[in-house]
């Protein structure tokens, strides 16, 4: 796997990915130092791999980065959409890497590197198709188009409310505009992929069209991900936008390599001026961060630096897409000649009119399966809410989707369409669900409404981050008549409450997890609750109370609430809170 570590597509991708993984190192350092410093022994190899990849992104260095990242994410990563996507990307790096004892058509290390790049680019594009497709599908619901509560309206108002006037008509268009983008992106990328695989092999026009389509996707995606990074924390999703930057390299890998080489060979004065400008921007961001009292969750480093990184990274990707060389020069310049092509139909890297990165005829079934496995894994997670397995994380972030409690606000997956909704009637008529049945005991349709509790683990299962926004942003939201509600279900909170306790609904399995843990610790507490019926509303039965005193369950308390959850199900079935009467913005 030796390779001359010149700037190429893989180098650009690795640089962006390594800087994203550095966020996990920062998070671990803040969490484990100094009290639990031995945990940092797991993070240490990842930090070292990040440093090595900034020096030379050799094949061994890239694989080492991915392997160490997978270990850290598997041991320290939380169950979140961000970690799932990050794990899928590093899985793609590992699964598409050259196999030491596998078959390959490459005759040189450079050929091997180019084939790896092509496979990885295909894997990243598949991940994008699934990610945007699943996110778009979740947004076909009533809550997304409610301008008072829609996540799209909230994000737009937080990002642009202080910069430009936002009329009610424009706010009502925001959900439609965002949905149009998220629907069109996977369809266009998939269409280009199919055209590349099955279109006329020597078609110059088709080759140009595919490259143009992918460049346009980069431009549109850059605008989108910059905008969603701009809202002030804790609403900003700049870590997610940062992670999308290396994924977008899969759309224009050769253009990114050409741009990197052009920057490498730029005149010294241009390099010096660029470095000086970068230093000024970073210094300004650091100064703004030092003067800021923004609350960030999760606490990575600073929104000011993170949003600057997003703007610079996606601006660079956009410039690479806009200033890419002509098609014929582009293939020859970036890929170069190969010594002994084994496929006479498609000599890899030869200068011709064929489509770039065309791997359909060069990958065997096993390689194709490994290339698509990260995307297939994400797809399995994405469909989980609709088959009654989990809602968090499930790539339905910021969608206003609600399918819990036996009811659904989704236009296509309405009540009864979601697998397990038919079992909700059983919950309405039974004090204790049948725990031996997956969909009636561990699904989202088996839910209760927490009316009141003094158990902190339950009180913190729903946190409204909106009150932590800057005062000016909150004033903008109120002026526009928007709800100041942005809920998360954190694995652990550890901060003061952001607002007085208000009732919320939650699938029973999440309650069991927290109550069983508290019971094992011998805590005394009470939970006042009522069941959520098959119509998704609190059942008309009287409010019930579960209570523990002196470490024991009191008489009359339902034993179903403290029954331990098997370890495998505790990982598989995770849910966020929901409201029985409306669908506010939830992460």
- The answer, yes or no, to whether residue 424 has pLDDT greater than 90, is no
Predicted TM-score (pTM) of the model is 0.88
253 domain residue, yes or no: yes
- Decide if 331 is inside a domain: yes
pLDDT average, residue stretch 547-568: 91
Residue 299 inside a domain? The answer is: yes
Q: Which of 195-204, 212-221, 470-479, 512-521 has the lowest mean pLDDT?
A: 195-204
The verdict on residue 409 lying in a domain is no
In a domain, 408, yes or no: no
DSSP 3-state assignment of 279?
helix
Q: Are residues 66 and 190 in the same domain?
A: yes
Same domain? For 428 and 348 the reply is: no
Residues 456 and 565 in one domain: yes
Instruction: Say yes or no to pLDDT of 46 above 80.
Output: yes
H or E, element range at 447: strand 447-453
Domain-embedded: residue 413: no
Q: Given this model, what pLDDT does residue 331 score?
A: 43
Range of the domain at 49: 9-383
Q: Give the residue among 337, 333, 352 at the shortest CA–CA distance from 204.
A: 352
Average the pLDDT over 38-66 and give the result: 94
CB-based contacts of 243: which residues, under 8 Å, 6+ apart?
20, 82, 85, 86, 89
Model confidence at 528: pLDDT above 60: yes
Nearest-CA neighbor of 519 among 484, 561, 480?
561
Q: Do 436 and 356 have their domain in common?
A: no
Same domain, 434 and 370: no
pLDDT at 100: 64
Q: Look over the chain and give the mean of its residue pLDDT values, rounded to a whole number.
A: 86
Q: pLDDT tens digits, residue range 109-145?
A: 888 899 999 999 999 999 999 999 999 999 999 999 9
Query: Which tops the pLDDT comparison, 45 or 340?
Result: 45
In a domain, 579, yes or no: yes
Contact between 78 and 84 under an 8 Å Cβ cutoff? The reply is no
- Distance from first CA to last CA of the chain, Å, rounded? 41
pLDDT band at 303 (very low <50, low <70, confident <90, very high): very high
Q: In the structure encoding, which two tokens stand for residue 290, read together? A: 């030092």
Across 320-421, the runs of DSSP E, i.e. the strands, are none
390 in any annotated domain: no
> Using CA atoms, how far apart are residues 335 and 321, in angstroms rounded to an integer?
17
370 and 429 belong to one structural domain:
no
Claim to verify: residue 492 and residue 364 sit in the same structural domain:
no
In the sheet with 504-507, reading across from the earlier edge strand, the strands are 504-507, 447-453, 525-531, 544-549, 552-553
458 and 371, same structural domain? Answer: no
CA distance 78 to 439: 25
- The label of the residue with tokens 């607002």 reads 499
Closest CA to 356 of 250, 222, 259: 250
Non-local (6+) Cβ contacts of 529 within 8 A are 448, 449, 450, 451, 453, 511, 543, 544, 545, 546
> How high is the pLDDT of residue 538?
66
**What pLDDT shows up at residue 536?**
58
Residues 376 and 428 in one domain: no
Query: Looking at residue 365, what is its pLDDT?
Result: 75
Residue 467, pLDDT > 80, answer yes
Number of domains in the chain: 2
> What is the model's pLDDT at position 150?
96
Most confident of the ranges 8-22, 384-398, 423-437: 8-22
Residue 74 and residue 71: Cα distance in Å, rounded? Answer: 5
Q: Are residues 248 and 303 in the same domain?
A: yes
Rounded-to-integer distance, Cα 239 and Cα 154, Å: 18
pLDDT-wise least confident of 98-102, 450-454, 483-487, 568-572: 98-102
């Amino acid at each position: 796997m030796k390779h001359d570590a010149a700037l190429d597509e893989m180098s650009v991708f690795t640089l962006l990915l390594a800087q994203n993984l550095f966020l996990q190192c920062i998070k671990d350092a803040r969490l484990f130092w100094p009290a639990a410093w031995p945990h940092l022994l797991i993070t240490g190899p990842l930090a070292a791999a990040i440093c090595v990849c900034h020096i030379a992104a050799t094949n061994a260095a890239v694989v080492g980065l991915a392997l160490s990242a997978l270990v850290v994410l598997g041991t320290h990563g939380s169950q979140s959409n961000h970690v799932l996507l990050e794990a899928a990307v590093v899985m793609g790096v590992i699964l598409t890497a050259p196999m030491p004892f596998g078959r390959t058509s490459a005759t040189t290390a450079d050929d091997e590197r180019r084939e790896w790049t092509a496979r990885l680019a295909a894997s990243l594009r598949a991940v994008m198709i699934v990610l945007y497709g699943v996110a778009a599908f979740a947004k076909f619901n009533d809550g997304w188009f409610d301008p008072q509560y829609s996540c799209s309206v909230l994000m737009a108002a937080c990002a642009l409310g202080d910069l430009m006037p936002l009329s009610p008509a424009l706010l009502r268009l925001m959900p439609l505009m965002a949905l149009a983008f998220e629907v069109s992106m996977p369809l266009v990328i998939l269409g280009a992929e199919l055209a590349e695989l099955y279109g006329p092999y020597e078609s110059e026009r088709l080759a140009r069209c595919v490259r143009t389509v992918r460049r346009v996707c980069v431009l549109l995606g850059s605008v989108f991900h910059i905008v969603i990074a701009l809202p002030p924390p804790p609403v900003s999703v700049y870590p997610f936008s940062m992670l999308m930057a290396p994924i977008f390299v899969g759309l224009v890998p050769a253009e990114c390599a050409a741009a990197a080489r052009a920057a490498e060979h730029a005149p010294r004065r241009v390099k010096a001026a660029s470095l000086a400008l970068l230093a000024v921007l970073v210094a300004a961001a650091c100064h703004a961060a030092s003067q800021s009292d923004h609350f960030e969750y999760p606490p990575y480093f600073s929104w000011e630096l993170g949003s600057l990184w997003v703007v610079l990274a996606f601006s660079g990707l956009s410039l690479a897409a806009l200033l890419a060389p002509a098609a014929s020069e582009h293939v020859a310049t970036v890929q170069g000649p190969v010594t002994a092509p084994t496929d006479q139909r498609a000599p890899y890297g030869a200068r011709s009119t064929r489509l770039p990165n065309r791997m359909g005829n060069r990958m065997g079934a096993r390689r194709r399966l490994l290339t698509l496995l990260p995307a297939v894994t994400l797809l399995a997670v994405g469909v989980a809410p609709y088959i009654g397995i989990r809602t968090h994380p499930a790539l339905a972030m910021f969608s206003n989707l609600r399918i819990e409690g036996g009811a659904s606000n989704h236009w296509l997956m309405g009540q009864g369409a979601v697998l397990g909704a038919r079992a909700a009637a059983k919950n309405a008529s039974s004090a204790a669900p049948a725990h031996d049945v997956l969909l009636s005991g561990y699904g989202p349709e088996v839910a209760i409404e927490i009316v009141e509790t003094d158990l902190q683990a339950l009180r913190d299962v729903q946190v409204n981050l909106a009150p932590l926004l800057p005062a000016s942003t909150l004033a903008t939201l109120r002026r526009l008549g928007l709800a100041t509600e942005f809920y998360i279900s954190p694995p652990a909170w550890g901060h003061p409450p952001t607002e007085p306790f208000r009732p919320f609904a939650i699938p029973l399995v999440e309650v069991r997890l927290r109550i069983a843990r508290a019971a094992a610790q011998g805590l005394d507490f009470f939970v006042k609750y009522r069941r959520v019926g098959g119509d998704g509303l609190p059942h008309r039965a009287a409010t019930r109370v579960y209570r523990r005193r002196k470490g024991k369950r009191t008489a009359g308390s339902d034993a179903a609430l403290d029954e331990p959850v098997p370890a495998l199900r505790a990982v598989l079935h995770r849910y966020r809170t929901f409201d029985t009467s409306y669908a506010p913005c939830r992460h």
